Amino acid sequence: MYPGVHAATTPDKPAVIMAGSGAVTTYRELDDRSLRLANALRAAGLGEGDVVALLSDNDPRAFEVYWAAVRSGMYVTAVNNHLQSDEIAYIIGDSGAGALIVSAGIGDLAGDVAELIDGPPVRLAYGGAVPGYEDYAETLAIASAERPAVQPCGLDLLYSSGTTGRPKGIKPPLPDRQVHETGSILHELLHGFYGFDADTVYLSPAPVYHAAPLRYCSGVHAFGGTVVMMEHFEPEGALRAIERFRVTHSQWVPTMFVRMLKLDEAVRSRYDLSSHRMAVHAAAPCPVEVKRAVIDWWGPILLEYYAATEGIGMTLIDSAGWLEKPGSVGRPVSGVLRICDDDGAELPAGEVGTVYFEQEEITFEYLGDEEKTRSARHPEHANWATTGDLGYLDEDGFLFLTDRKAFMIISGGVNIYPQEIENALTMHPAIDDVAVFGVPDEEMGEAVKAVVQPAAGAQPGAELERRLIEHARERLAHYKAPRSVDFLDDMPRTPTGKLVKGKLKARYTR
């Protein structure tokens, strides 16, 4: 399904509402504009399998670009607007984009990118003039509004977050169906497990370029619901949006939970959240203390999933299941879980290893990187794939994540998982954000280091370092507690909540 189906039956229904301004894009407008853009792209010579790159802030026209590509059998590559201009230029070139469409809301960045690239031949800017780009609205105004007889289904071609190096394009094969036909596994999951339908009002507080917001918002459009998109996340603003627009579903990352929980109780209780039926969360591990506090506040409406942009598999766990298995990310709803050691041998329940998903067929590839594509496959089973996360299965088949393999600490020959330590520190009142990793140590090989962004009013220094180490020792085995704590004014996280730990750790290991 796609917006054209709903434009024919509910043309004036809001497809997108901007949470701050209240600006509405109807299904009629979304269908008409995406159709005109699709025709303009075809008139410029783009066809099935070509790539349309999108560089945007949270602007409703991002969905016009998305659906223009997807209703034309093309790939859409939404680019992280927090990257540097040379990194964005790399993605434009690496993806082979035939069109680049940008928002004037980030016009300075888009202009810098335009000066760094030779292509693509089609460059459009919406929301205002941007040097190096033609006017989006003028292009749509003169484009054909004729609906083609054939509209093959396209897909996204997204890039990894790049937290441990150059972003890599994740390219799935195009589906063999028309855009109005059903068959998307994700959309089946959204309907079957999340209850997405035409009555869904979905709050999206995260950047639209990220895989989950882009895919889940498109899922809402597939069912004819309404997306409420925040211009940017702000804790009280999110609660205000739930009340104002009678939001039924939402999606979050744990850092958003933490920021909302740290609001004054008077602010938290000010808003009517009674319409809110399901709060989905993922993207980063959620500390047990944080999730329990949100369930106490919102009720048992949290649904957590574990998945990846690569689409290799998915687990789910609802609030009731999580309260029985605190810390778990659930059991698989797509794929079969396999936990393996470094040699690829499958491990029994309770033992930590690399998390693989087994599917009938693994079809994605990392664009232009055969070695990385091979390294994501099991050494003996081509249909088992991993993104490098570590975890274990309990005796009931529930998955518990420990950390990414790259960040496991080996101190005195003992494996230590930073996530466990971060979870123990996250809700300390003196901490706004925290990262834990290993640093070189002559005696132990590695020592546990914590880097903390202090909360407002907290005084960084030796006394706070001592208190935080004691706090960790009260909750963990002493060998897991940080040996030292450093303080930063701002922690390097992506806007989707992922800690850029590789760059942070590099400061200590050069």
Confirm if 190 and 216 have CB atoms less than 8 A apart. yes
H or E, element range at 467: helix 462-475
Mean pLDDT of 290-313: 94
Kindly report, residue by residue over 79-102, the tens digit of the pLDDT: 999 888 998 999 999 999 999 999
Query: Per residue in 212-238, pLDDT tens?
Result: 899 999 999 999 999 999 999 999 999
> Who has greater pLDDT, 63 or 373?
63
Query: How many angstroms separate the Cα of 324 from the Cα of each of 111, 170, 396?
Result: 52, 35, 11
Mean pLDDT for 463-468 is: 96
Q: Where are the domains of the chain?
A: 3-223, 410-509
Six-digit token string for 237:
């603003």
CATH topology of domain 3-223: Rossmann fold (3.40.50)
Average pLDDT over residues 57-63: 98
What are the start-end ranges of the H helices in 277-387? 288-298, 319-324, 370-375
Alpha-carbon distance of 507 to 156, in angstroms, equals: 34
Average pLDDT over residues 287-310: 93
Cα 390 to Cα 201: distance, rounded to the nearest angstrom: 35
pTM of the model: 0.83
Torsion of Cα atoms, 114 then 72 then 35 then 138, to 10°:
20
In DSSP terms, 348 is beta-bridged to: none
Average pLDDT score over the chain = 91
Cα–Cα distance, 103 to 125 (Å, whole number): 6
Interval 248-280: pLDDT, tens = 999 998 889 988 998 999 999 999 999 999 999
The string of DSSP codes covering 9-52 is H-TTSEEEEETTT--EEEHHHHHHHHHHHHHHHHHTT--TT-EE
Contact 278, 190 (CB under 8 A): no
- Residue 380 burial (10 A CB sphere; 0-12, 13-18, 19+): exposed
Q: Decide which of 411 and 61 is more confident.
A: 61
Q: Which of 60-69, 107-116, 304-313, 436-445 has the lowest mean pLDDT?
A: 436-445
Give the separation between CA 91 and CA 84, rounded to whole angstroms. Answer: 11
Tens of pLDDT along 123-143? 999 999 999 999 999 999 999
What is the mean predicted confidence (pLDDT) over 18-43? 98
CATH topology of domain 410-509: GMP Synthetase; Chain A, domain 3 (3.30.300)
Alpha-carbon gap, residue 403 to 386, rounded angstroms = 13
- Using DSSP, state whether 8 is helix, strand or coil: helix
What is the model's pLDDT at position 165?
56
pLDDT of residue 163: 45
Picking from 197, 314, 289, 202, the residue whose alpha carbon sits closest to that of residue 247 is 202
Is the pLDDT confidence value at 496 over 80?
no
Q: How many residues in the chain?
A: 510
Comparing 190 with 108, the larger pLDDT belongs to: 108
Q: Is the pLDDT of residue 306 over 50?
A: yes
Q: How confident is the model at residue 164 (pLDDT cuts 50, 70, 90)?
A: very low
